[in-house]
Chain A
């Protein structure tokens, strides 16, 4: 078994697609209309076009808001992405106006930081030691 797809809920799929592609640098993989407004919308890393897809899933279900509000208040990220250098990525994203709730810090062997994806989620980036 392997992880082929994982998802984050997003407030607005069009806005999420812009953030995840133009700011974070992912590329769109599937964009299939579903129902009136929703889309099956996935992005992948340009470094791994055949790798795990991230589904940007509409956050309309009533359970989503209380769930995300509670996690947000405590600063708990919904997903973790690997980057080559957390500090460099922190500088790059901060320069693009991305807001971090946790600046880069060494947590034992890994360095991590947490930012707001502007779509209702906190995302952690991490650099693993070689």
Chain B
């Protein structure tokens, strides 16, 4: 599972897809492709975007649901928690413990 997660995050196009889903969850493949080409000038094929989405889905970062005839992609950031569980982030609200 963790390997899938790191593999999914390693690609800049996939990170851009996650950025766009963070801005608006529940997008069709068409909308994701439109955003990548029009907003990010990424000239990649629909098939390539589909493959990127499949990698993100395998890592649990993207979930799909069908509504009637249409398929929507949602962001799920829960798997990212594994990263901070493995390498904990210090809580900024707590004063740093000084080694006196």
Contacts and interface: CB of A to CB of B under 8 A. Distances in A.
Nearest to B30: A75
Q: On chain A, which size bracket covers the interface?
A: 20 to 34
Contacts of B72: 101
Contacts of B34: 107, 112
Contacts of B69: 69, 72-73
Contacts of B39: 106-108
Nearest to A112: B34
A58 to B, nearest CB: 19
A107 B38 contact: yes
Nearest to A99: B68
A107 to B, nearest CB: 4
Nearest to A73: B71
B38 A74 contact: no
Interface string B6-50: 000000000000000000100111110011001100000010000
Contact of A102 (B28, B38, B46): B28
Interface string A102-117: 1101111110101010
Interface in A93-130: 101-103, 105-110, 112, 114, 116, 122
Contacts, number: 51
B34 to A, nearest CB: 5
B31 A114 contact: yes
B38 A75 contact: no
Interface of B: 24, 27-31, 34-35, 38-39, 46, 66, 69-72
Given A76-B28, A101-B28, 17 more contacts: A72-B69, A72-B70, A74-B28, A74-B29, A74-B46, A74-B71, A75-B27, A75-B31, A75-B71, A76-B30, A102-B28, A102-B30, A105-B24, A106-B39, A107-B35, A107-B39, A114-B31
21 contacts: A72-B69, A72-B70, A73-B66, A74-B28, A74-B30, A74-B46, A76-B28, A101-B28, A101-B31, A101-B70, A101-B72, A102-B28, A105-B24, A107-B35, A107-B39, A109-B38, A110-B38, A112-B34, A114-B28, A114-B31, A122-B30
